[in-house]
Amino acid sequence: MKKVRKDFVVLGKDIGGKPPIYFDNACQTLRPRQVTEAVSEYYDSFPACGGRSVHKMATEVSLRCDEVRTRVADFIGAESPLEIAFMKNTTEGCNTVILGSKFNKGDEIVTTDYEHNSVHVPILRAVETSGVRHKIVKSAPDGTFDLESLKKAMTKKVALVAMALTSNVTGYTLPAKEVVQIAHSYGAKVLFDAAQYAPSNKLDVRGMGVDYLAASGHKMCGPSGVGLFYCRAEIAERLRPVMYGGHGVTDTTLDSYSLLPAPERFETGLQNYSGIVGTGAAIAYLSALGMDEIQAHEVSLNRQMTKELREVQGVRPLKPSNPELRGGIFSFNIDGLSAHDVAMIMDNSKNIMMRSGMHCCHPYFHARRLEGCARASVYIYNSPEEVEVFTDTVKQLASKFSKKR
Ligand SMILES: Cc1ncc(COP(=O)(O)O)c(C=O)c1O
């Protein structure tokens, strides 16, 4: 971890007088110099358009993007690079599946009760436009996924099971293989929103058997604005893009168009080439560290946070209570303070940068009558010493404010 920290230039900078303690990794991670150098290399050496022009610089872009596609396919265990499309973010991948699938009126889509709006809102839109029914599997009281409730929700009408593989609110990861098995036994397809899973866990889409998966490069050391979208080859031709225009088509006439096969049909318009090249560097970086090491590091910091704060009066961590089930995420409230107050005080007093609010999961909080929570999310460069500053500050806040209730 100490060696890793040196790659992240911003960690050595004075931000408002001292180096930052960056605990907002579930939103977006920091980027190592290997990634920013790769982005600069694109702009300095071959800043052209891929997939269209035939000159040398354009050919270099196309080759580099294809290389990254292959690297992503290997990284997530896909069978072929053609199963990988580059998008803007996880949101675009989820929208493509939910709004690009052909549903019939009365078809059902099943989700958890803690979906991010990037799954939840397109489903509400599909309810409006296609007449699908949205069914929700309630979490178990201990905050884990309830497989029995999923089984009860399943019928032959379920066309899609769309779920966050790892929750961005609690850090909990659902039992992926079991969910896929149950969904497939009813003939339903499965979309996993892997925005929070992909940065810290070894992905194996073939082993999981999942049909579609979406993730964001910017949550895994990559540049802003690159999404990774996996679509199993056998079903790709049935999925429509959500955007139409240049580069997604083989031919157009005045009154017709024909789509290119996947993945190009999903890559409409000029792409974020510098971002794609940088994403390749990010994946190489994470692979060299090892996904198992990354996951173990996060859990060890989470264990430390949980041990220190679990019994503190006025601190209310969100479930599940076992840190082994929460990856790098520790979400909590402090009695007597709003979540935004907590985050602002942490920032102003100790330079600890974290997220507060409803984290784009409004239904989760409405159902639990919570106004939001503060979320500390750690990653590869965070240290036990930083965690100590965090837990000490939370304890001080709790002792100062929670008594006032
Ligand atoms: C679980 C989950 N899904 C989807 C998203 C959306 O990611 P993006 O904004 O990169 O599309 C996020 C972002 O925080 C997330 O945590």
What string of pLDDT tens digits covers the 405 residues of the chain? 889 999 999 999 999 889 999 999 999 999 999 999 999 999 999 999 998 899 999 999 999 999 999 999 999 999 999 999 999 999 999 999 999 999 999 999 999 999 999 999 999 999 999 999 999 999 999 999 999 999 999 999 999 999 999 999 999 999 999 999 999 999 999 999 999 999 999 999 999 999 999 999 999 999 999 999 999 999 999 999 999 998 899 999 999 999 999 999 999 999 999 999 999 999 999 999 999 999 999 999 999 999 999 999 999 999 999 999 999 999 999 999 999 999 999 999 999 999 999 999 999 999 999 999 999 999 999 999 999 999 999 999 999 998 754
CB atoms within 10 A of CB 41: 16
The reported pLDDT for the residue numbered 1 is: 83
Residues 48 and 237: beta-carbon distance below 8 Å:
no
Q: How far apart are CA 93 and CA 147, in angstroms?
A: 25
| 164 CA to centre of ligand 1 in angstroms | 9
Residue 360 CA to ligand 1 centre (angstroms):
8
- pLDDT given for residue 2 in this prediction: 86
Q: Tell me which residue has its CA closest to atom 2 in ligand 1.
A: 195
Ligand 1 atom closest to residue 164's alpha carbon, by position in its atom list? 1
- Which mutation among 117, 360, 362, 364 tests ligand 1's pocket best, with the greatest number of atoms within 8 A of CB? 360
Q: Is the pTM of this model over 0.75?
A: yes
Q: What is the pLDDT of residue 52?
A: 86
| Phi, psi angles (nearest 5°) of residue 21 | -105, 105
How confident is the model at residue 362, as a pLDDT?
A: 97
Full DSSP string of 53-84: --SHHHHHHHHHHHHHHHHHHHHHT-S-GGGE
- 157 DSSP assignment: T
- What is the Cα–Cα distance from 333 to 368, expressed in whole angstroms? 13
Q: Which atom number of ligand 1 is nearest to the Cα of residue 359?
A: 14
Single-letter code of the amino acid located at 81: P
For ligand 1, residues with CB inside 6 Å are 26-27, 89-91, 116, 118, 164, 168, 193, 195-196, 216
Q: Which pLDDT belongs to residue 49?
A: 94
Separation CA 241–CA 306 (nearest Å): 43
Q: For residue 8, what are the β-bridge partners? A: none
Ligand 1 center to 137 CA (angstroms): 20
Q: How far apart are CA 14 and CA 18, in angstroms?
A: 4
Ligand 1 atom with minimal separation from the 166 CA: 1
> What pLDDT is recorded for position 348?
96
C-alpha 361 – ligand 1 centre gap (Å): 10
| Nearest-5° Cα angle at 149, 180 to 369 | 115
Active site members: 360
The pLDDT value recorded for residue 247 is: 86
d(CA 225, CA 231): 19
Atom from ligand 1 closest to the CA of residue 118: 4
